[in-house]
Amino acid sequence: MHDLVVCRPCGAIHEADGHDTPSNETLCHACAAATISSGPRFAPLFCRTCLADVREHNAHATTSIPVGRHSLVNGVGLNRDTLRDPDAIENFVRAVLGLGDGIDRVTSYARDVVRRNLDAMGAADTVPLGRYLEAVEPATVHDLVATAGYGAGLTGEEER
C-alpha cells in the first residue's frame, strides 16, 4: 500500500506515487478534516459528525444538502406505481437535476476548504495525509450552509 497525500489541484486524496491513482478514501465534504470511504455509490459525502449536522439542517431547511452521490440516498426515486406517471417522471428528473447541482456545490465547497487548509499550512501541491489531518482546523456544516448557499436551517447552538 502506498502513502496517501492530499492534492491541492483537485482537493482530493491520492496515492503518493502518482495523481492518476485515486484513493478509496476521501475527505469529509463539510469539515475536510476526517477521512471517509469514497468507493460505494451509497457512501455519504460526510463523516458521522457532519452527517448528523447535515441531517439536522435538512430537517429544518427549505433547501436540502445532498448526503450522498446516489439519488436513493437522498430520498429521490421512482417506485413501481409511478413509473408510467408523466408528472412523477418530470418531478423525478427535476429532483435529480437539482441533486446534481447540489452535489456540485458541496464538492466545490470541499475543494475550496482543502485548498484553504493547504494554504494555511504553507503546503506545496501535495502534503502527506497524516500531516494534513493533524494540522487542519475542521470546517463546519454551518460554514457549508453559509458558503454554498443552502439557506437557514442549522443554528449555531445545534452545530457540533
Helices (H), 13-151: 48-60, 86-121, 129-135, 141-148
Confidence of residue 156 (pLDDT cuts 50, 70, 90): very low
**Residue ranges per structural domain of the chain:** 4-148
The span from the first CA to the last CA of the chain, in angstroms, equals 34
Residue 154 predicted with pLDDT over 50: no
pLDDT in tens, 105-151: 899 999 999 999 999 999 878 888 999 999 999 999 988 988 877 76
Using only C-alpha atoms, the chain has a radius of gyration, in whole angstroms, of: 17
